[in-house]
Amino acid sequence: MTIGLIIIGDEILSGKRTDKHFSKVVELLSARGLQLGWAEYIGDDRERITATLRRSFATDDIVFSTGGIGATPDDHTRQCAAAALGRPLMLHPEAKTKILERIADVAREAGTEPQWDTPDNQHRLKMGEFPQGAAIIPNPYNKIPGFTVGTHHFVPGFPVMAWPMIEWVLDTHYPQLFNREPRLERSVLVFETAESLLTPLMDVIEARFPLVKVFSLPSVGDATTRRHIELGVKGEPVQAAAAFEVLVAGLQQLDAEFQPLATAA
């Protein structure tokens, strides 16, 4: 089962805000022995969001979507999810309760009584309109929930809300997937060597060890580090350990200068 991430918002694509979700989601997954399979960035375009969600709903992927679930004119994610599924939007009863609680909290903080029927408070209830059949995702920051449909999970764009909500989804719905596949990663820094000279060795390792991937991350270097390539293997621990021995032996045969890095599991 692949895990995907959809990051929605014109502000990300225009550069007005720097995306922080990608690196954080990778961190949250890694802490649970999981990894991200794909990610997409989309602007506030209803047609494109709907098409993307329709495509991802057709898979078995676990998908996290951030942004666009508010009730302002540039928020389209709730409507697009409903359109992609061919379902109506409906006010979720639990979401309504949570939003009313939030309205009451704000009123009390201001020293007033909540006015339930004012246009702005009635409009806030739209944030609880989700595709029919959705379940809520609790929001510990301000109680305004996100929603889940199948294996798709929709949270706000604000990191302070989105990240604990994503953690809640992982720990509530997917603990059975945590650390299910042991992995080992080992690598070296290879100095002043052309990547093309290392490619045959990489091909040999991948052909010999089917449960291992070889990776190569070139760097032009900087004021403190010479030009180098981080060359390594990752995958099933037994095969990865054996593959690393082959990698080191191959580098020695090439008379390449290299430096092992700390083992990552």
Average pLDDT over residues 139-144: 96
* CA gap 74, 19 in Å, rounded: 18
* CA gap 9, 156 in Å, rounded: 11
* Six token digits for residue 98: 């949570």
* CA gap 262, 188 in Å, rounded: 9
> pLDDT by residue (tens digit) across 199-257?
999 999 999 999 999 999 999 988 888 999 999 999 999 999 999 999 999 999 999 99
Cα separation of the two ends of the chain: 21
| Three-class secondary structure of residue 190 per DSSP | strand
> pLDDT by residue (tens digit) across 153-166?
999 999 999 999 99
Residue 150 Rama label (left phi>0; alpha psi -120 to 50; beta): left
Q: pTM of the full predicted structure? A: 0.86
Average pLDDT over residues 178-204: 93
pLDDT of residue 1: 74
Give all strands of the β-sheet with 184-191 in edge-to-edge order: 212-219, 228-235, 184-191, 257-260
For 98-116, give one letter per residue: b (16+ CB within 10 A) or e.
bbbebbeeeeeeeeeebee
> pLDDT by residue (tens digit) across 77-134?
999 999 999 999 999 999 999 999 999 999 999 999 999 899 999 999 999 999 999 9
Average pLDDT over residues 20-35: 96
> pLDDT by residue (tens digit) across 59-91?
999 999 999 999 999 999 999 999 999 999 999
pLDDT of residue 53: 98
Domains and CATH numbers, the chain: 3-177 (3.40.980.10), 184-260 (3.30.70.1130)
Asked if the model's pLDDT at residue 265 lies above 70, the reply is: no
pLDDT of residue 180: 87
Residue ranges in the chain assigned as alpha helix (H): 10-14, 21-30, 46-57, 77-85, 93-109, 119-124, 159-173, 195-208, 237-253
Three-state SS string across 31-43, please?
Answer: CCCCCCCEEEEEC
Asked if the model's pLDDT at residue 262 lies above 90, the reply is: no
- Listing DSSP states for 110-133 in one string gives TTS---TTSHHHHHHGGGGEEETT
| 148 in Cβ contact with 135 (< 8 Å) | yes
**DSSP 8-state symbol, 264:** B
Of 179, 185, 202, 177, whose CA–CA distance to 239 is shortest?
A: 185
Asked if the model's pLDDT at residue 264 lies above 70, the reply is: no
Asked if the model's pLDDT at residue 6 lies above 70, the reply is: yes
User: Under 8 Å CB-to-CB from 152, ≥6 apart: which residues?
Assistant: 53, 56, 57, 63, 65, 81
